[in-house]
Amino acid sequence: MSRDRFVPPGHFRDLDSFREALRGVDPGFGADPSPFGADSALARPLEVAGKHLSNRFTAHPMEGWDGTAEGRPTELTLRRWRRFGRSGAALIWGGEAFAVREDGRANPNQLHLHADHGAVVADLRALLAEIELGRSEVGADGDVLVGLQLTHSGRWSRPVGPPAPRIAAHHPVLDARLGIDDDATLLTDDDLRAIGACYVDAARLAQEAGFDFVDVKACHGYLLHELLGAKGREGAYGGSFANRTRLFVEIVAGIRAACPGLAIGVRVSLADVGPFRPAPGSRIGEPDGFTADVVEAAGFGRGRADVYAFDLDEPFAFLQLCEQLDVRLVNVTLGSPYYCPHLQRPAAYPPSDGYLPPEDPLASVFRHLQVVRAAKAHCPDLVLVGTGYTYLQEWLPHVAHHEVAQGHVDFVGLGRMLLSYPELPLDVLRGDALRKKLICRTFSDCTTAPRNGMVSGCYPLDDLYRARPEAARVRAIKQARTAR
């Protein structure tokens, strides 16, 4: 599908015409007329983990590929966290992916746990202080719940630049893409246990720094997500559902023992479509190697009948497991930015390593809404955060209001929108008009830049990044791609 086969949300002149488009995607896709101000469902308080949260906005974790080589925050990192604070969102989910081991970094500039624990705690405190500073700058009051996202990048590790995958299980398509043809990169059961211990170490330091919770990240194709789908793996951590969730259970138990009082959450890709690739010629995304055999061997929440026919039996079992473990905070996401970016972060314009959307991105947004709705209906006592809202652009508050007012989700998570327009939640809650020039138009520069070795940021709309030397390079990469 080329971009002129769908109409980006910003092109709709009024809510009625946008709602008609939503109904064309699915009759259940709703947008409410009055999402603004103190009476909004988005301003409905909720008690979570002992805090009185006064709104239903969440800042999703967003890394910037901008830490030092030693894994410490830079001015750019601190600024991003300050801007998360400026959102006024009552729930700050994770800040950004923090690698529990140096070799588990997704890029050489990812924050990570290192031997100088005193410095780690000081850096984490500095990040928390930026959130408070941002909140005070905009007069955001009340409680805020802040977590740190703990990660090991597994298959997508690139600790010093080139890919250095450490896989949980083989995957025919993804192995081929990474040139993996033997077991050299396959983590052993002992390797996994050692990595699990690092999650516990990192959680201890996060608690010492003052974080309210840690997110044991299990999404987007990284290690714990790949393990959830490792049906073809042998041994204690592969095959059965109990084996595939074993490491997650062990990490949660370890954190509980080491960090009494620290809440635990999980960001999980609850369903998936597996790898896509650009079709030769058109560059429109198409499934790559979608066969029953592949789904059988690898993948979590994937159906066999059709690439988009999610199978939620195991995801629901995972949510029940979370309830049993008293992991009540669950951030629901889909897929992976590495192999199905159109689903993971719906966009009008693909990143440089992506492909043109194979469906109207509104349909991809609705897949996010549907999965989290199903999760909420199945496990109403969990505190669920939804994903995929940024593509809705000026209509984001209207759809967000609908989802919360209907009880489909507890918190509306915002990713890219907060890079371009951090104060959007506060503007909605205060009943102020949206600042249209700041609305993220899903140009994907914040993904294209790091895919080409540069720091991430909103190059088109954030003055600081617009003025950086990388901005011209990002533009040139995009132009070269469009010309092809």
Ligand X SMILES: Cc1cc2nc3c(=O)[nH]c(=O)nc-3n(C[C@H](O)[C@H](O)[C@H](O)COP(=O)(O)O)c2cc1C
Q: Which residues bind ligand SF4 (CB under 6 A)?
A: 416, 419-420, 440-446, 458-461
If one asks whether residue 97 binds ligand X (CB under 6 A), the answer comes out as yes
If one asks whether residue 390 binds ligand X (CB under 6 A), the answer comes out as yes
Shortest spacing between CB 450 and ligand X, in angstroms = 7
Shortest spacing between CB 457 and ligand X, in angstroms = 8
Pick what 60 binds: ligand SF4, ligand X, none; C-beta below 5 to 8 Å, kind-dependent: ligand X
Please tell me the distance from the alpha carbon of residue 166 to that of residue 187, in angstroms, as a whole number: 6
> Of 19 and 441, which has the nearer Cβ to ligand SF4?
441
Pick what 420 binds: ligand SF4, ligand X, none; C-beta below 5 to 8 Å, kind-dependent: ligand SF4
The count of other CB atoms within 10 Å of the CB of residue 324 is 9
If one asks whether residue 415 binds ligand X (CB under 6 A), the answer comes out as yes
Pick what 81 binds: ligand X, ligand SF4, none; C-beta below 5 to 8 Å, kind-dependent: none
Please tell me the distance from the alpha carbon of residue 388 to that of residue 372, in angstroms, as a whole number: 11
Among 202, 332, 417, 455, binds ligand X (CB under 6 A): 417
Any idea which residue has 């990143």 for tokens? 351
Please tell me the distance from the alpha carbon of residue 151 to that of residue 158, in angstroms, as a whole number: 13
Please tell me the distance from the alpha carbon of residue 302 to that of residue 312, in angstroms, as a whole number: 8
Shortest spacing between CB 399 and ligand X, in angstroms = 12
Which DSSP string corresponds to 178-222?
HT--SSTTBPPHHHHHHHHHHHHHHHHHHHHHT-SEEEE-B-TTS
Question: Can you state the angle between helices 117-138 and 75-86, rounded to 10 degrees?
Answer: 40
Shortest spacing between CB 206 and ligand SF4, in angstroms = 27
Token pair recorded at residue 475: 């533009």
Shortest spacing between CB 68 and ligand X, in angstroms = 17
The count of other CB atoms within 10 Å of the CB of residue 215 is 30
3-state secondary structure of 269: strand
Shortest spacing between CB 347 and ligand SF4, in angstroms = 6
Among 19, 363, 456, 478, binds ligand X (CB under 6 A): 456
Shortest spacing between CB 419 and ligand SF4, in angstroms = 4
Shortest spacing between CB 9 and ligand SF4, in angstroms = 13
Show the binding pattern over residues 223-262: x = contacts ligand X (CB under 6 A), - = does not. Answer: ----------------------------------------
Token pair recorded at residue 101: 């081991």
- Please answer whether residues 444 and 420 qualify as being in contact, where contact means their C-beta atoms are separated by less than 8 angstroms: no
3-state secondary structure of 51: strand
Pick what 414 binds: ligand X, ligand SF4, none; C-beta below 5 to 8 Å, kind-dependent: ligand X
Show the binding pattern over residues 358-387: x = contacts ligand X (CB under 6 A), - = does not. Answer: -----------------------------x
Shortest spacing between CB 458 and ligand SF4, in angstroms = 3
Please tell me the distance from the alpha carbon of residue 339 to that of residue 326, in angstroms, as a whole number: 32
> Of 345 and 376, which has the nearer Cβ to ligand X?
345
Shortest spacing between CB 232 and ligand X, in angstroms = 25
Show the binding pattern over residues 164-203: x = contacts ligand X (CB under 6 A), - = does not. Answer: ----------------------------------------
> Of 238 and 341, which has the nearer Cβ to ligand X?
341
Please tell me the distance from the alpha carbon of residue 200 to that of residue 51, in angstroms, as a whole number: 24
- Please answer whether residues 194 and 246 qualify as being in contact, where contact means their C-beta atoms are separated by less than 8 angstroms: no
Is the sign of the CA dihedral 156, 157, 163, 169 positive or negative?
A: negative
Q: Which of 92, 13, 1, 39 is nearest to 429 (CA)?
A: 39
- Please answer whether residues 412 and 425 qualify as being in contact, where contact means their C-beta atoms are separated by less than 8 angstroms: no
If one asks whether residue 345 binds ligand X (CB under 6 A), the answer comes out as yes
Shortest spacing between CB 63 and ligand SF4, in angstroms = 13
Please tell me the distance from the alpha carbon of residue 266 to that of residue 105, in angstroms, as a whole number: 19
The single-letter code of the amino acid at 446 is: C
- Please answer whether residues 410 and 404 qualify as being in contact, where contact means their C-beta atoms are separated by less than 8 angstroms: yes
The size of the interface with ligand X (CB under 6 A), counted in residues, is: 24
CA angle, 231 then 234 then 240, to 5°: 45
Question: Can you state the angle between helices 396-405 and 361-378, rounded to 10 degrees?
Answer: 20
Q: Which of 87, 45, 19 is nearest to 428 (CA)?
A: 87
The single-letter code of the amino acid at 108 is: P
Q: Tell me the sheet residues that pair with 216.
A: 150
Binding window for ligand X (CB under 6 A); candidates: 57-65, 225-233, 278-286, 293-301: 57-65
> In this structure, are strands 329-334 and 145-151 parallel, antiparallel, or unpaired?
unpaired
> Of 243 and 420, which has the nearer Cβ to ligand X?
420
If one asks whether residue 443 binds ligand X (CB under 6 A), the answer comes out as no
If one asks whether residue 60 binds ligand X (CB under 6 A), the answer comes out as yes
Pick what 439 binds: ligand X, ligand SF4, none; C-beta below 5 to 8 Å, kind-dependent: none
> Of 211 and 391, which has the nearer Cβ to ligand X?
391
If one asks whether residue 267 binds ligand X (CB under 6 A), the answer comes out as yes
Binding window for ligand X (CB under 6 A); candidates: 42-50, 60-68, 280-288, 291-299: 60-68
Q: Applying CB under 6 A, which residues contact ligand X?
A: 60-63, 96-97, 149, 219-220, 267, 333, 345, 387-391, 414-417, 446-447, 456
